[in-house]
Structure 1
Amino acid sequence: MSRLDSPTVVLVHGAFADASSFARVIPELIARGLNVVAPAVPNRSLLGDSAYIASIVRQLPGPVILVGHSYGGAVITVAGMEDNVKALVFLAGYALEEGESLGELQGRFPDSDLASVLVYTPFPIEGSTEAGTDVSVQIDKFPAVFAADVDPGLASVLAVSQRPLAAQAFAEKAPAAAWKTKPSWGLVATADRTINPDVERYGYERAGMTTVDVHSSHLVMLAHPERVADLIVDAVRATAH
């Protein structure tokens, strides 16, 4: 498949991370002839973040394979409604039902280790007298909870360069679920201490996705980039015309 003929893979990062979390997957995809875009997600609200990613998708020529990690899974659940999105790939992610929030899906299952190591920090909201709340992970706990099988030196860098998620995002309900109309694939990180793997599996099975298990920490893209790239390529091939 030549690059000109291939779809664009849009990689949507999650909470407490940025697009550099795909740094090991991107070269794998480019080497396989795929176009790749890895935008910076604002991580301010589910509705706002989904609208932002949807605006990027709309401006891309040709078909799009939308890939979401963690909270990014919730984002692509909504943004995936764009007409040129041909498939969704969830990586250790939230696959929300229409009308469901992150908090509601997570609340069906026991808390992961993440719940006890979160930090809540106020931040100013432009045009408002009330502060918002940023959610991040304790720096000293981040490597073990988020990136246990990632190089320790890299994990320490990730810990101090987190992109927090605004607390508002946990309560907003998904207005649509693109997996209802788009073929979808889901990767369960079976050693995940950030999202309970049962949360991932439940969302995928409810959606009828093709599901694979990988023994990995939450940051499966950095720990097992080849496995992630293989799954994305599976989605590309299955939806090629």
Structure 2
Amino acid sequence: MDMDRRTFATSLLMGAAAAAVPSRASAQAARKPERANNVVLVHGLFADGSSWSEIIPRLQARGLNVTSVQNPLTTLEDAVAACRKVLDRQVGPTVLAGHSFSGMIVTEAGVHSNVSALVYVAARAPDAGEDYAALAARFPSPPASAGIIYDGDEGRLSEQAFLRDFAGDLPAAKARALFAVQQPFRRALLSGRTTQAAWRTKPSFYAVSTEDRTINPQLQRYMASRMGARTVELRSSHVSLISHPREIAALILKATDG
């Protein structure tokens, strides 16, 4: 009788252990996230949504649904709200990518349930509640900062600074065309702080521009390292999304796999 009891108890334990351990196939399925079929792109200062024009057709050619958000450049709250409206319209997993200042928007809006991964392109990546200006002040000031001019409440980059410090590795004619569509920003935009940091919970990717004269490359490396991002370095000006579109598109495609 004791033997029968021991055999029965052993059988129960083995059965419980088997039930607690999923099959290899189910475990692999649980680990593999669903591939993102949407990409939402956000532009930064001194630009508009057309700054992604070299990236969009590359992603569309791979069957992705792509939307470029028109950042109002008024306040951080307004910019995040504009991004969230676009994210609300996406069906299924979505990669959220931002250039330059819009890293603030990616960091805040990236907690959206549709967002599966984040891509930062030479972008700000603050922590929740962090004073970005204080963080940036720990590194040498980039030359473009001296080129910002204000007309009352609106700021923009001078043509000289735009051509030399923002888009320095583009042909002059192309850089001037981008300068022509530069959108001014409101002073209030620069004082906004994120209330959450999506990169703490979402897979993150970062493209560092090593020749950047708008955001210090060492600051970019610091932010990418802090978030544990999968990082690429490009010998590029601040506008790597235009001067190195193949590499930026490839990074976004990696992010669609989670």
TM-score by length of 1: 0.89
Q: Describe the SS at the equivalent of 1:142.
A: helix
Q: Distance in 1 between matches of 2:236 and 2:256?
A: 23
Q: Distance in 2 between matches of 1:151 and 1:191?
A: 16
- Give me the whole-angstrom Cα distance separating, in 2, the residues matched to 1:171 and 1:197: 22
**1:21 equivalenced with 2:54 (yes/no):** no
Q: Does 1:163 align with 2:209?
A: no
- 1:106 and 1:164 mapped to 2: Cα distance? 22
Identity %: 38
Query: 2:79 and 2:53 mapped to 1: Cα distance?
Result: 21
| SS in structure 2 of the partner of residue 193 of structure 1 | coil
SS of the residue 1:36 aligns to: strand
1:187, distance to aligned residue in structure 2 (A): 0.6
Structure 2 residue matching 1:14: 3-state secondary structure? coil
Question: Are the equivalent residues in 1 in contact too, given 2:94–2:256 (CA < 8 A)?
Answer: no
Look up the SS of the partner of 2:111 in the other structure. coil
Q: CA deviation at 1:59?
A: 2.0
CA contact (8 A) 1:102 1:172 kept: no
Long gaps (5+) in structure 2: 1-34
Alignment of 1:131-146 (within 5 A): 133-146=153-166
Q: Residue 102 and residue 43 in structure 1: after superposition, are their counterparts in 2 closer, same or farther (change >3 A)?
A: farther
Farther off after superposition, 38-47 or 162-171: 162-171
Deviation for aligned residue 1:6: 5.0
1:229 matched to which residue of 2? 249
Structure 1 residue 75, shift from structure 2 partner: 0.7
The residue that corresponds to 1:62 in the other structure is 92
- Measured after TM superposition, the shift of residue 80 of structure 1 is 0.4
Q: How far apart, in 2, do the equivalents of 1:179 and 1:78 lie? A: 9
Pick aligned residue for 1:111 from 141, 161, 169: 141
Q: Deviations over 1:41-90 (max 9, x none)?
A: 10111122112201210121111100000011111100101011000000
Aligned equivalents of 2:223 and 2:146: distance in 1? 23
Tell me the amino acid that sits aligned with residue 190 of structure 2.
Answer: F
Deviation per residue, 1:144-166 (Å, 9 max, x gap): 11111112111012123211222
Structure 1 residue ranges, 4+ long, deviating more than 4 angstroms after superposition: none
The answer as to whether partners of 2:43 and 2:51 remain within 8 angstroms in 1 is yes
Correspondences of 1:41-120 after superposition (within 5 Å): 41-120=71-150
Distance change (3 Å), C-alpha of 1:192 and 1:223 = same
Q: Alignment partner of 2:70: what SS?
A: coil
Of 202-211 and 158-167, the range deviating more from structure 2: 158-167
Aligned residues: 224
What TM-score does the superposition give when structure 2 sets the normalisation length? 0.84
RMSD over equivalenced CA pairs, Å: 1.3
Amino acid at match of 1:102: Y
Alignment correspondent of 1:148: 168
* Aligned residue identity for 1:226: R
Local SS of the residue matching 1:38:
strand
Which one of the candidate residues 151, 162, 172 is aligned to 1:121?
151
Deviation at 1:108, TM superposition (A): 1.9
